[in-house]
A and B are shown apart, each in its own frame.
Chain A
Amino acid sequence: MTLIACRDLTLAYDQQPVIAGLTFSVSPGDYLCIVGENGSGKSTLVKALVGLKTPSEGEIRMGEGLRPTEIGYLPQQSEIQRNFPASVYEIVLSGCMAYLGKRPFFGSAERKRAETALNRLNLSGLKNRPYGELSGGQQQRVLLARALCATSKLLVLDEPAAGLDPLISKDLYRMIKSVNRDEKITVIMISHDVQNAVAEASHILHLNKKPLFFGTTEAYLETSLGKLYREGIAA
């Protein structure tokens, strides 16, 4: 029973491989954290998962009736315009695009979906506020709500807490965890916050050009990599 499986995956820019020979799989309900240093290819990997990048070798297979357009994606912050003139509601509603089919306009079902996502992330009060005037943490919550609108199966989040202060990050992680636990939505999240990853994720994928580790969090803590972090926490 796998939701998404990568086999011998190689991803490259202009023939220069960024990731080579990566094999892993994610089951429904899993919470996978992808960790690794800057430039280790984490964003490239999730772009391949959501269909923005074609693998140069290997394959990505989706199971459980998951269609590529049913993934809720949250891009890395640098790729979003922070001062874009749009209201919170306009942005969250646009997450329902995959449900639009051939219709030109959103109907009541999509509007309800957007409302639910807004409520889920405590954004109802900000519904009509301009996106550009929100704090970084609020903006990330809006993008998370949009991703939630786009899926009821799999969230793929690229550093949702980057640049947020520890308290706000914690809040965001808590919401992600509760979405994973209560709504049984699978989560694949890139994070530099290994402490949080170890605390909340069910699986860890540690990348550094080549895959260093893939497995459950418990197993990760037993490896030399994981031990390093555990000692870090203890210290």
Chain B
Amino acid sequence: MNLKELGSLKYFIAFIVVFVGFYIYSGIIGWKWLGSTSTEKTKTEKNGTYHPRYFHK
């Protein structure tokens, strides 16, 4: 592998850099891309009362 060849592979190398960077970032913030338990993120009013929920039968 020489410099000329690295130049020709620049798009692939850039993709590697970006993707590996994203992988490292995900590892740091504890983001599992797939198979993570799906959560529904909501915000309730402070001191809000408990709302009855739908229950599984």
Q: Are these two chains actual partners, yes or no?
A: no
